[in-house]
Structure 1
Amino acid sequence: MDSSVFHARGPEVSRLRQFLNFLGCILILPVYYILTAYTRHPLTLDVLVTIFAAEYNRYTNECRRRKLYGQDKALQDAEKAIPRLSPAGPGPDCMAAVVGYREDPALFARALESYNSAEGCRFVLVGIDGDEEADMEMVRVFQKVYSNNTSSVIRLDEPFGELAVRTFDKISTADLHSQPTDKYMQESIAHCCNLAREILTDHKITFDRGAGGITRLCLYQPHLHKKGIMFTSFIFSIVISDLLGIEYLWSSDSDTIVFPRSLRSTVETVAGDPSVGGGSAGLIVHNEHDSAISKLGSVVYWCELYLTRSTATAAGTSDCQSGPSSAFRVAALPAVLYPWYTQCVLGHRMIINEDRHLTTNLLLQNWTITYVSDTLASTDTPTTLSKWLLQQVRWSRAGHIESFQNPHIYTLTSPLFFWAAIKRELGPLLGLAYILYYYVTGTSMAYFSWTDLAFRVVYTIVYNVGRNPDRAGGGKRGIAWWGWVLPAMVFYNVPLPAVHAWSLGTVFEGGWGTAMRGVSEKEGRMWKRIRELGFFVLWMGVVGGVMGRIAAGFLGASPETTVRALGWGTTVFSGAAFYGLVVRE
Structure 2
Amino acid sequence: GLLVVGYREDPELFRGCLKSITYLRYAKNERIIVVVDGNDEEDRYMGDIFSKVFSKWDHRVITTDFRLQDIEMFEQRAIKLVEEVKKCMGPVCIMQPHFGKRAAMYTGFQVLLQCQVEAVVVTDSDTILDTHCIKELAFMLDDNFVGAATGDVRIWNTGTMLSFLSSLRYWFAFNMERSAQSFQNCVTCVSGPLGIYRSDVLREIIDKWIRQRFLGSLCTYGDDRHLTNLTLALGRYVKYTPYAFCYTETPETFIRWVTQQTRWSKSFYREALFAVKATPVQSLWMTYEIIFHIIYPFILIYSLLVLIYKGTLWQMITWVLTLFIMGALRTFYALVYTKKLKFLFNMFYGVVYLIGFIPAKIQALLFLWDNGWGTSSRLKKISKWNQKMIPILWIIVLVVGIVINIRRFIVSDSEKFEVQHIVGIIILVCTLLIGFICYCFYQDHEKKKRVAREQERRKISRDQNISKYHSYIETDMGVPLTASMQNQYES
Measured against the shorter chain, the TM-score band is 0.7 to 0.9
Q: Which moved more, 1:387-396 or 1:121-130?
A: 121-130
* Equivalent in 190, 193, 198 of residue 80 of structure 2: 198
Larger Rg: 2
Is residue 504 from structure 1 mapped to residue 365 from structure 2 by the alignment?
yes
Classify 1:441/1:260 alpha carbon distance in 2 versus 1 (closer, same or farther; 3 Å). Answer: same
Q: 1:484 to 1:561 in 2, by over 3 A?
A: farther
Give 2:9's aligned amino acid: E
Q: 1:561 to 1:109 in 2, by over 3 A?
A: farther
Helix, strand or coil at the partner of 1:434: helix
Q: Structure 1 residues 346, 376: CA separation in 2 closer, same or farther (over 3 Å shift)?
A: same
Please, which of 149, 162, 167 is the counterpart of residue 279 of structure 1?
149
Query: In the alignment, is residue 463 of structure 1 matched against residue 333 of structure 2?
Result: yes
Aligned in 2, Cα 1:300/1:523: closer, same or farther, shift over 3 Å?
closer
Asked if residue 129 in structure 1 is aligned to residue 37 in structure 2, the reply is: yes
1:218 aligned residue (93, 97, 101): 93
- Contact 2:37–2:96 at 8 Å: present in 1 too? yes
RMSD: 2.9
Q: Is the 8 A contact 2:82 2:111 kept in 1?
A: no
Task: State the partner residue of 2:15.
Answer: 109
- Aligned residue for 2:349? 488
Matched to 1:265, the amino acid is E
- Determine if the alignment matches structure 1 residue 366 to structure 2 residue 248: no
Q: 2:47 aligned with 1:119, yes or no?
A: no
Query: Which of 114, 119, 122 is equivalent to 1:248?
Result: 119
Deviation per residue, 1:175-215 (Å, 9 max, x gap): xxxxxxxxxxxxxxx537x86453243x3843xxxxxx612
Consecutive unaligned residues in structure 2, runs of 5 or more: 416-491
Segment drifting more, 279-288 vs 448-457: 448-457
Structure 1 unaligned runs (5+)?
Answer: 1-94, 168-189, 207-212, 563-585
Note the C-alpha offset of 1:546.
4.7
Residues 406, 461 of structure 1: CA spacing in aligned structure 2 closer, same or farther, 3 A cutoff? Answer: closer
1:264 aligns with 2:172: no
Task: Please tell me whether residue 395 in structure 1 is matched to residue 264 in structure 2.
Answer: yes
- Answer yes or no: is the 8 Å Cα contact 2:309–2:405 preserved in 1: no
Within 2, Cα distance between the matches of 1:350 and 1:534? 25
- Tell me which amino acid in the other structure corresponds to 2:74: H
Q: Does residue 405 of structure 1 match 2:258?
A: no
Aligned equivalent of 1:13 = none
| One of 419, 422, 436 as aligned partner of 2:288 | 419
Shift of 1:136: 0.8
Shift, 1:499, TM fit: 1.9
Per-residue deviation, 1:441: 2.0
* CA distance in structure 2 between the partners assigned to 1:534 and 1:128 by the alignment: 32
Corresponding residue for residue 62 of structure 2? 154
AA aligned opposite 1:422: I
Alignment-mate amino acid for residue 281 of structure 2: L
User: What is the CA–CA distance in structure 2 between the aligned matches of 1:490 and 1:147, rounded to whole Å?
Assistant: 47
Task: Report the Cα offset of residue 552 of structure 1.
Answer: 6.8
8 Å contact kept, 1:129–1:226: yes
Shift of 1:313: 3.6
Q: Identity across aligned pairs (percent)?
A: 24
Cα distance change of structure 1 residues 513 and 162 upon mapping to structure 2, 3 Å threshold: farther
Pick closer, same or farther for the CA change 1:449–1:384 going to 2, 3 Å.
closer
User: Which amino acid is 1:559 matched to?
Assistant: S
Kept after mapping to 2: 8 A contact 1:439/1:542: no
Aligned ranges for residues 306-455 of structure 1 at < 5 Å?
306-313=175-182, 315-442=184-311, 453-455=323-325
Task: Confirm whether residue 534 of structure 1 aligns to residue 442 of structure 2.
Answer: no
Q: Residues 294 and 382 of structure 1 are in contact (CA less than 8 Å); yes or no, is this contact kept in structure 2? A: yes
Deviations 1:87-109 (A, max 9, x none): xxxxxxxx210000111111111
Which amino acid in 2 is paired with 1:539?
W
CA contact (8 A) 2:234 2:278 kept: no
Paired residues of 1:434 and 1:445 also in contact (CA < 8 A)? no
Query: What TM-score comes out, normalization by structure 1 length?
Result: 0.65
CA distance in 2, matches of 1:560, 1:539: 30
Q: Which amino acid aligns with 2:205?
A: V
Native 8 Å contact 1:123 1:215 kept in 2: yes
Q: Contact 1:315–1:416 (CA<8 Å) still a contact in 2?
A: yes
Aligned residue type for 2:291? I
Measure, in 1, the Cα distance between the counterparts of 2:333 and 2:210. 39
Counterpart pick for 1:559 among 395, 404, 412: 412
Q: How many residue pairs are counted as aligned between the two chains?
A: 411
The alpha-carbon distance between structure 1 residues 493 and 300, as it changes in their structure 2 partners (threshold 3 A), is: farther
Q: Which residue of 2 aligns with 1:140?
A: 48
Matched-pair contact (CA < 8 Å) for 2:24–2:132: yes
Once the two structures are TM-superposed, the CA of residue 512 in structure 1 deviates from its matched residue by 2.2
SS at 1:102 equivalent: coil
Matches within 5 A, 1:228-239: 228-239=103-114
Q: Aligned letter for 2:5?
A: V
Deviations 1:211-260 (A, max 9, x none): xx6121111111111111111011011112x1xxx412110000000111
Deviation digits for residues 335-359 of structure 1 (CA, Å, limit 9, x no counterpart)? 1111111111231221111111111
CA contact (8 A) 2:327 2:348 kept: no
8 Å CA contact 1:304, 1:489 repeated in 2: no
Letter in 1 for 2:15: A
Mapped contact 1:352–1:511 kept (Cα < 8 A): yes
Contact 2:122/2:192, CA 8 A, preserved across alignment? yes
What is the letter of the counterpart of residue 215 of structure 1?
Answer: G
**Normalised by the size of structure 2, how large is the TM-score?**
0.76
User: How do residues 71-82 of structure 1 correspond to structure 2 at under 5 angstroms?
Assistant: none
Aligned partner of residue 74 in structure 2, secondary structure: helix
SS in 2 for 1:459: helix
| Cα 1:460/1:552, change in 2 over 3 Å | farther
Per-residue CA deviation, residues 126-152 of structure 1 (Å, 9 max, x unaligned), is 101111111110000000000024111
Residue type at the aligned position of 2:410: A
Given that residues 350 and 508 in structure 1 are in contact (C-alpha distance below 8 angstroms), is that contact kept between their aligned partners in structure 2?
Answer: no
Q: Which protein has greater RCO, CA pairs closer than 8 Å, 6+ apart? A: 1
Specify the code of the residue in structure 2 equivalent to 1:505: L
Alignment partners' CA distance in 1, 2:275 and 2:344: 42
d(CA) in 2 for partners of 1:230, 1:550: 51
**Deviation of the 1:374 alpha carbon:** 4.3
